[in-house]
A and B are shown apart, each in its own frame.
Chain A
Amino acid sequence: MDKVKLTGLILGIAGFSIPLIITFPGLSFAGHLALSIFLMAAVFWMFETIPIYSTSILVILLEVMLLSAEGFIQFGGSYSPVPYSQFVATLANPIIILFLGGFVLADAAVKYDFDKNMTRILLRPFGSRPAMIMLGLMAVTAFLSAFMSNTATTAMMVTVVIPILAKMEVSDPARVSIALSIPFAANIGGVATPIGTPPNAVVIAALNQNGLSVEFGSWMLYAAPLALVMLVFTWILLLKLHPPAVQQVPLELKGTWQTSGKAWILYIMFGTTVLLWVTESIHGIQSGMVALIPVAVLTLTQTFEKEDIRNLPWEVLWLIAGGISLGIAMKETGLAEWIVGSIGWENMSYLLLLAVFAVVSVLMSNFLSNTVTASLLIPLGITLATSGVVGGPAATLIIGLIIALSTSFAMVLPISTPPNAIAVSTGVVKTKDMIVSGSIIGLVAIGLIILMASFYWPLIV
């Protein structure tokens, strides 16, 4: 075990112990236990003493043991413990089922090369000028990563881009701008839909628990314009920072559509599911319910087989579920309210408060997992809004959106997101280049998110 992990282990145990030893005024006994779990999880997530999904699993276990009605501890009047089924049910939360559907579609798309062939077709109209090719690559990456994982999309696009980069002069700055454009576009594309990236799930689940249902299409209405503007901005920024030297970029994309019956089933399911998701407001079938259609159809037709089911990224679902259930514990035990109450928000204006959440989200998720950042901040943000510290019926939703969207605009370092790590690993991009453009993108995104929170979202909510 290295020093960082060991430090994390010691701090984590210390964090867990503090609320058991010291009594904080105004916080219930159950709140103390929840604080123990919260501190330990925060430390383990930060130091990655254990894998982040293991921390999530541990959170659920501790909640079941310490905070549930069936658990080891008898509570007095201050806290009526929730049944343990509520903590474990987070694993089948509608948003988790929505993600499951997304995962199955995405993995099936990879299995039948749907992602690569879509890329080939979609890139065709963009010609061969480097600036246009970059725009094409970014648009396709963002579009795919809105429905698939950002990481898988980046990996796929890197296989497309490497042969192109190999044919260009090593000194051409366009190599850098193209190699940076892929992870950035993938990170940005993730915000556009609820299933684009895991932090969206944590936030939507928390909003649902507070009686705010967020439709697939409404989320896109809130977030897709941001993705679009930031995509164009990033494109211009990268062209300015690393202007291409060549006039033409060789773009040869080989590949053929698979035409087997199963491949066709996938194409049709992919199209149908996405269509049903974005038209939820017309037919009224919830996106989580729709998500079961591809899961059922693809498995019953053997398009998606047992081996494929086993290969799904199950740990991501555990990670999200842990975040959701931590939020439940913090809300139910009164811990979230207690933390919010102990900070002097009154001195802050509404706008400043939104800005604080946006900045903290971006800062934290540059160093931590985006999902973890959202999991740690959302219980506080939502409580702040529901307890009336900040006003307005839309405040809950707006703070949720700010947290979810800001975490995805952390792309300064290779460790900020897996797509960034992939881009730097190719050796084409230097960390320095990523820091410069990533910081500018982060700052502009924060500004734009606050603008949207002030003028755009209140209009359409």
Chain B
Amino acid sequence: MKTKIYILVVEDEPEVLDSIVRDITEFEEQFVVEMADTAEEAEELIDSIITEEKGLIGLILCDHVLPGKNGVELLVEMQNREETRPTRKVLITGQAGLEETVKAVNEADLKHYIAKPWEKNELVSITKKLLTDFVIERVDDPLPYMKVLDSERIAESLRTGRKLTDR
């Protein structure tokens, strides 16, 4: 069985959560999108993806202001856990202050900061870029992802890497 790669969306407002998930529907052809409305719920999800589903978490799109633990804390925790360190981390938020954003960059290797409201194109292209990075770095057989991701970059990785050879 092929290892599943998950996209995690963490957002407490249902309409916003819906709209993020709707914008990234095109990736559901190859990736599994999972939703959580609190950091605590996200942690449970991460546990079950890693231990029960044996999946990889490729990308997290995370709001900052959440009831309970905030988004940046969640991202830092993920960065400190071996299985979720390679996960590409993105904040989608209107209200993260400079200090917290700096913390996310320094301690959670934040890959992108999307300010609300966002453009669909922006969200899709960032998702595509970060998932392509993840797949090139982490997946032995990137071919199934070529169609939904940046196929030119995946082809280039096949040219320079040695993941696929004559046989």
Contacts and interface: CB of A to CB of B under 8 A. Distances in A.
Interface stretch (B105-113, B124-132, B157-165): B157-165
A418 B166 contact: yes
B27 to A, nearest CB: 14
* Size bracket of the B interface: 10 to 19
Contact of B165 (A163, A372, A418, A425): A418
B144 interface: yes
Interface stretch (A148-156, A377-385, A450-458): A148-156
Given A162-B151, A426-B146, A319 B167 contact: yes
B167 A370 contact: yes
A421 B144 CA distance: 9
B98 interface: no
Contact of A152 (B1, B147, B152, B159): B159
Contacts of B162: 311-313
Give the interface SS of chain A, mostly helix, strand, loop or mixed.
Answer: helix
B24 interface: no
A418 B167 contact: yes
Contacts of A115: 159
B143 interface: yes
A131 to B, nearest CB: 24
B165 A315 contact: yes
A265 interface: no
Given A198-B167, A319-B167, A426-B147, A110 B152 contact: no
A312 B159 CA distance: 13
B16 interface: no
B164 to A, nearest CB: 5
Contacts of A149: 165-166
A96 B147 CA distance: 36
B159 A418 contact: no
Given A158-B151, A313-B162, A426-B151, A369 B146 contact: no
Contact of B1 (A2, A155, A197, A417): A2
A52 B167 contact: yes
Nearest to B144: A425
A152 B155 CA distance: 9
Interface in B74-132: none
Given A110-B159, A158-B155, A421 B166 contact: no
13 contacts: A110-B159, A151-B166, A152-B158, A159-B152, A162-B151, A313-B165, A369-B167, A417-B167, A418-B164, A418-B167, A422-B146, A425-B146, A426-B147
Given A149-B166, A418-B164, 12 more contacts: A52-B167, A149-B165, A151-B158, A151-B164, A151-B165, A151-B166, A156-B155, A159-B155, A159-B156, A371-B167, A425-B147, A425-B151
